Amino acid sequence: MIFHTFTTMNLKAYQVAEIVSGNVVGDDQVLVNSLARIENGDEGSLSFLGNSKYNKFLSSSKSSVIIVNNDLVLDQPLTKTLIRVNDPNEAFSKLLDLFGNQNLNRTGIDKLSSIDSSVSIGKDVYLGAFSVCEKDSVIGDDSKIYSQVFLGENVSIGKKTVIYPGVRIYNNSVIGNNCIIHSGTVIGSDGFGFNLDKNGNQLKVVHNGNVIIEDNVEIGANCTIDKATLGSTLVKKGVKIDNLVQVAHNVEIGENTVIAACVGIAGSSSIGKNCMIGGQAGISGHIKIGDRVMVQAQSGVMRSIPSDTTVMGMPAINYLDYNKSYVHFKNLPKIMNKLNDLFKKK
């Protein structure tokens, strides 16, 4: 049986202030029921001012309540209600999470899902229509598995994890607590491995490992994380992965590392803690990237990188060296013209 709970969020200004630890300036009884950008808010909406570039909208905004910084100095008196906080961006993030989680809260198992009788299902779990969960899998308390998700055999899903429609999770994969996996992502597919036989034919390398994703990880849409040849492909706690990222077999990604869209990480590479990998970067196989490394967008990392380093380019080199080199590179046409002139004079 399936149950739907739709909650309309109606909060008074003083209640919002309590949530974000702020102070109300104006009518603390004014009611808000939606979130909006400051430049296009309407009556009943709640907005925030987190960037001084948007100060010009403060007087013209129609939002009923606006969250601002404690230090903001007003050029003119305002009739609308303000909530002053230490950090408007952090405060608004809390509200985004609050509104998002309460707009739709689902529990129960849809009658159109296919769940093996051996599956262990925790409390307040949701399984949407046409979701499939095969034998000996485990789903933790408060997890939400949306429509058309496939969970293979012996898959473990932790508590309070959200898996959006169309995700495919292969056999023996382990997903931790408080994770978010967006639509179209595939976890646990085979790695890309082939060996030539004596006749020159490609022989597939069978991958018998799995994927382990620790707690508080978010994975964007249409990503692929391949299982290990042996052992585990490992995504450690707090990692955030954008859309369209490829993580190959036996890769290890350290805690709290952030990876932007369209990154490709080849097999058996290791990425340290608190790294930042820019969009469209490529990382070769069997290398080690240290902690707190920054890889600029579209870089090609061909060798190991020590901790606390920033790299850029293809092949990637030290960021400052790249900038110095680029000054000369962009001037090459002028330099060549001068050289050609000199040769002509000879």
Instruction: Just list the catalytic residues.
Output: 249
User: How would you classify the pairing of strands 276-277 and 218-219?
Assistant: unpaired
- What residues contact 188, with CB distance under 8 A and at least 6 apart? 152, 169, 170, 171, 172, 173, 210, 211, 225, 226, 227
CA of 8: how far to CAs of 5, 78, 126, in Å? 10, 28, 20
Report phi then psi at 297, rounded to 5: -55, 145
Buried b (16+ CB within 10 A) or exposed e, 69-108: beeeeeeeeeebbbbbbeebeebbeebeebbeeeeeebbe
Return the C-alpha torsion angle 142, 145, 146, 147, nearest 10: -140
Report phi then psi at 45, rounded to 5: -100, 155
The C-alpha atoms of residue 162 and residue 343 are separated, in whole angstroms, by: 68
User: How would you classify the pairing of strands 310-312 and 138-139?
Assistant: unpaired
Q: 137: buried, middle or exposed (CB in 10 Å: 19+, 13-18, 0-12)?
A: buried
Report phi then psi at 97, rounded to 5: -65, -40
